Amino acid sequence: MVVRPTVMEVDINNFLYNIEKIKEYVNGTMIMPIIKANGYGTHINFCTDVINSFDIVGVALVDEGIVLRNNGYKNDIFVLNQPYVEEIDNIIDNNIVVGISDFSFLEELGKRKDKLRVHIEIETGMGRTGINPKDIDLFLTLIKKYSNVEVEGIYTHLSSADYDSEYTKKQLDIFRDSVCKIENIIGKVKYIHCSASNGILNYPDSYYNLVRSGIIMYGYQSFDKTFDKIDLKPVCKLKSKITFLKEVDEGTSIGYSRKFITTRKTKIATIPIGYADGIRRCYKGDVVVLGKRCPIVGNICMDSLMVDVTELDNVKVGEDVSIWDNDIITVEEIGEKTNQINYEVISTVSDRVPRIFIK
């Protein structure tokens, strides 16, 4: 039973609505939902009844895949980032598919008797991981030595599909040539994918037979014009309650280091959410109380923050407070005021904040 007044509300119906809109947009192309980082902070990855409707899901870590297996997910789990050698036993035990891009890791897989399914990552210009296209022949020669290693996919990541069409098209050309080379050598591959949220919305010719839906699946924009292209509903709200209320005189200091001094008789509300819950200490913004913006005053504490509610006549202890409600205050506004992107704002909400699923 959840008793803490600070919670993240996660609307499952909005999530399912977004999935349907993405399906319409990609016109039947298979979707691999990316549910890494605990579903971008939403914990939707724990909603097994929802996740089990997908044939394949993407995570970043082997440990995230193990959590899914332990929660009853039966279908394919793909780890986007090449794991560590020490994780191979867990990969085998949990029937996890992994991305690979390193010769030495491939050699370690080849030493095993168990069948291992992999997707080959191609470096097309992200500058992170992936096989240099010049090394494909050599890499495939090594793969063919290992009968236990099955190439089930080929993929890459588009670094600038939100704003740089020339560079993105260059990446797509490199990827297309690499896919052709690989399939000419080893035959048709089950999954080919390169488009995450920005690629989905901006490059419909890049879908191949699988797309990786990320932030748009949770109802948030992946670039400024997202909502001009697709109708989405934000999935989560961060909420709390007023737990302490007081009226103080002019000249009263509020919070650590006396960073705020009242200039009038002021009504101060204390809200039990702080930087240990994911609210940046540097945040100088508002919260929503009774449908109105109220400014945060003083330094944000580890477990609480203080708000000036002087302008509210009927405010009381126990009143609902929204850190973001996706209407008056958005995650994009918070990100702008804390030098973050919306991905960061939702994915860094601490696990000590309970998630409440609304269906």
**256 among known catalytic residues:** yes
Cβ contacts of residue 208 below 8 Å, gap of 6+?
A: 29, 179, 192, 193, 194, 195
Count other C-beta atoms under 10 Å from residue 103's C-beta. Answer: 13
| Backbone φ and ψ of 321, nearest 5° | -130, 135
Strand partners, 122: 131
Residue 262 · residue 71 · CB < 8 Å: no
**220 among known catalytic residues:** no
Residue 226 · residue 22 · CB < 8 Å: no
Token duo for residue 150: 């099955």
- Residue for token pair 């297309």: 176
Name the nearest CA neighbour of 155 among 182, 187, 119, 128. 119
Amino acid at 204: P
**b/e per residue 262-300 (b: at least 16 CB within 10 A):** beeebbbbbbbbbbebbbbeebebbbbbeeeebebbbbb
Residue 328 · residue 316 · CB < 8 Å: no
256, 259, 265, 292: which is the annotated catalytic residue?
Answer: 256
| Backbone φ and ψ of 97, nearest 5° | -95, 135
- Give the full edge-to-edge strand order of the sheet including 266-271: 244-248, 266-271, 305-308, 292-297, 286-289, 320-324, 236-241, 7-11, 355-358
Active-site positions read: 36, 256
